[in-house]
Structure 1
């Protein structure tokens, strides 16, 4: 049996990789609200696309994936602008940071574990969020899907790149994710996956592929420490 096929509870964890939206910052409900307007503006009426379909997927991947099947109402650049127009208010004003998330990152690093960030968000959005968390330059590796010359989530490349930059095999990484596409990406990379469901989660994301699930910030901190630090 390969390490990636072993029971996740039996695998040694040598690094932890966090998604950003919906994990470090409670932004997904706000994006879901905005996505309804974005879908109305960008997609033709016959397109059967919901916010849940787009959650966790890089913006340009959204456009390329669904634009291959539909005549979009806006250009690729204009599609990005629809998101960018509301990003600042979401990250700096509306979205709450996840309770205890910054302390959790620091605790892991104090315990000697490399910690990474792997997100579908754009550099300025990441900068705004990490500034609010007080985690600027805190991560040992930051991998942003829009900066990779590879497809984003649910493809595994973003998590493979994060593990590589951390110097750890994906099989020995714990990934914390909230979206179905992110969970699938981490599983394809071979990582142990903890799904996080925030208190304001709409329940539309399929977390069945995850190895464990945490409901709410307190359980998130408890499960990460249990899986990564062997704390009871």
Structure 2
């Protein structure tokens, strides 16, 4: 490979925004190397090259550094046809707006999972239910957001349904209740091969450890489950 176009992804193992990028790279079968860092112990070399000191970043060659998951995903899509982004300017703008929508859902979903405050837990649950209802309206009778064909906007939502699928047995509330279209959409996304290869093999274990170690509301609601054999076997994806 020409070193000028070598791709190196810098990521944190359970970061959902990194999962977005990994999902696209796996879907597009792009060759890349990956470097994992600890988000609370960022190495100096990373701080030096990452403008916001956040993951993911994509190093192209030895000089170019792309940051922000949406920018990286669009770049990967552009260099590996066929493109998943639409050509129509209006539809492209609508999709980019939904990229931001997915970011807000991910941010609030992870806060919901890792919060230690009961009141915040309830408020986040209500917020998520409202936003998922909006997503259900977008889908109507479609398989994917833009119709029958998978698009880049759909891959933005993969981390949402991966984590919901993982935690479904232990969530004290079904935030997708009565959302059959959204449930079907989530199943379509998590069944994609790139949704499986786009996460690290120990993703579930790391998430469970994080939920337990922070003594979250979710953990306190069902400590027996988290400490039981079902958690250690990690059967969340029907393995």
Instruction: Confirm or deny a common fold (TM above 0.5).
Output: no
Compute the TM-score of the two structures, normalised by the length of structure 1.
Answer: 0.34
The structure whose residues are more often strand, as a share, is 1
The structure whose residues are more often helix, as a share, is 2
Q: How high is the TM-score relative to the length of structure 2?
A: 0.33
Greater gyration radius: 2
